[in-house]
A and B are shown apart, each in its own frame.
Chain A
């Protein structure tokens, strides 16, 4: 089973709101990723967690705050977003971050609209 789940599927928020995106996997994967995808573009990496520690932060603005409470869960906390942050946010996981076991499996995404 290569299932990664994400909630919510859709989110509309104002620029002053605080919201969170949630990602969950029960495949025993130890690496989890957040991507941002604009329409008709490839995904762009935001963050990587490996063994629950932040491994990569691709110079993402501080209004995006990731959190990895345990090896199965990954959250993305959103605060004071801008309309240009509207996008599809994809979560992915992999068994590890080295070797072919790094193959990433993606969730269905959260479609975010910032008004």
Chain B
């Protein structure tokens, strides 16, 4: 079974600075998808960024980018120019590319605080 580990329960960053959230995963599959979701206190889970494992190029979405290291099974999220609105719980998630594998496997989350 696949597992996702987020080793940082809490992180903090100064406004306008850069922060990196860690995520590692364990799988024997070669094809899969990885996601970062953000859940602010308003509680809605918002998709931040996604990565297909077959793509070598790291995904980017504006201030958010990932460092995808397939061999190391690592999928870290970098937030540049941090803003107060980035404060949230961040979940890393894995999904198999195999048919019939609809389940998202989540990590335990990292709570990010942004200090003004």
Q: Which residue of B lies closest to A90 (CB)?
A: B45
Known: A43-B104, A102-B102. 16 other contacts (CB 8 A): A31-B102, A41-B109, A42-B106, A43-B91, A55-B102, A56-B103, A88-B43, A90-B45, A99-B97, A100-B33, A100-B50, A100-B52, A103-B33, A108-B42, A108-B44, A111-B43
Q: Which of B89, B100, B104 contacts A45 (CB 8 A)?
A: B104
Interface mask (B10-23 → A, CB under 8 Å = 1, otherwise 0): 00000000000000
With contacts A97-B102, A103-B35 known, is A42 near B97, CB below 8 A? no
Interface residues of A (CB under 8 A from B): 2, 31, 33, 40-43, 45, 48, 50, 55-56, 88, 90, 92, 97-100, 102-109, 111
A31 neighbours in B (Cβ, 8 Å) = 102
Bound-state CA distance A104–B94 (Å) is 12
**B interface residues (Cβ-Cβ under 8 A, vs A):** 33, 35, 37, 42-47, 50, 52, 89, 91, 95, 97, 99-100, 102-104, 106-109
25 sampled A-B residue pairs with Cβ under 8 A: A40-B89, A43-B104, A45-B104, A48-B102, A48-B103, A50-B102, A56-B102, A88-B43, A92-B45, A97-B102, A98-B99, A99-B97, A100-B33, A102-B102, A103-B33, A103-B35, A103-B47, A103-B50, A104-B47, A104-B104, A106-B44, A106-B46, A107-B44, A108-B44, A111-B43
